[in-house]
Amino acid sequence: AQSVTQLGSHVSVSEGALVLLRCNYSSSVPPYLFWYVQYPNQGLQLLLKYTTGATLVKGINGFEAEFKKSETSFHLTKPSAHMSDAAEYFCAGGYQKVTFGTGTKLQVIP
Partner 1 sequence: NAGVTQTPKFQVLKTGQSMTLQCAQDMNHEYMSWYRQDPGMGLRLIHYSVGAGITDQGEVPNGYNVSRSTTEDFPLRLLSAAPSQTSVYFCASSSREPGWDTEAFFGQGTRLTVV
How far apart are CB 21 and partner 1 at their closest, in Å? 14
- Tell me which residues in 38-57 interact with partner 1 (CB under 8 A): 41-46, 49, 51-52
Give kind and range of the element (H or E) at residue 80. Answer: none
Sign of CA dihedral 17, 32, 36, 106: negative
Specify which residues 3 forms β-bridges with: 26
Among 22, 30, 86, 95, binds partner 1 (CB under 8 A): 95
- Tell me which residues in 9-38 interact with partner 1 (CB under 8 A): 9, 32, 34, 36
Nearest to 46 by CA among 36, 58, 32: 36
Judged by the rule CB under 8 A, the positions of this chain that interact with partner 1 are: 9, 32, 34, 36, 41-46, 49, 51-52, 90, 92, 94-98, 100-103
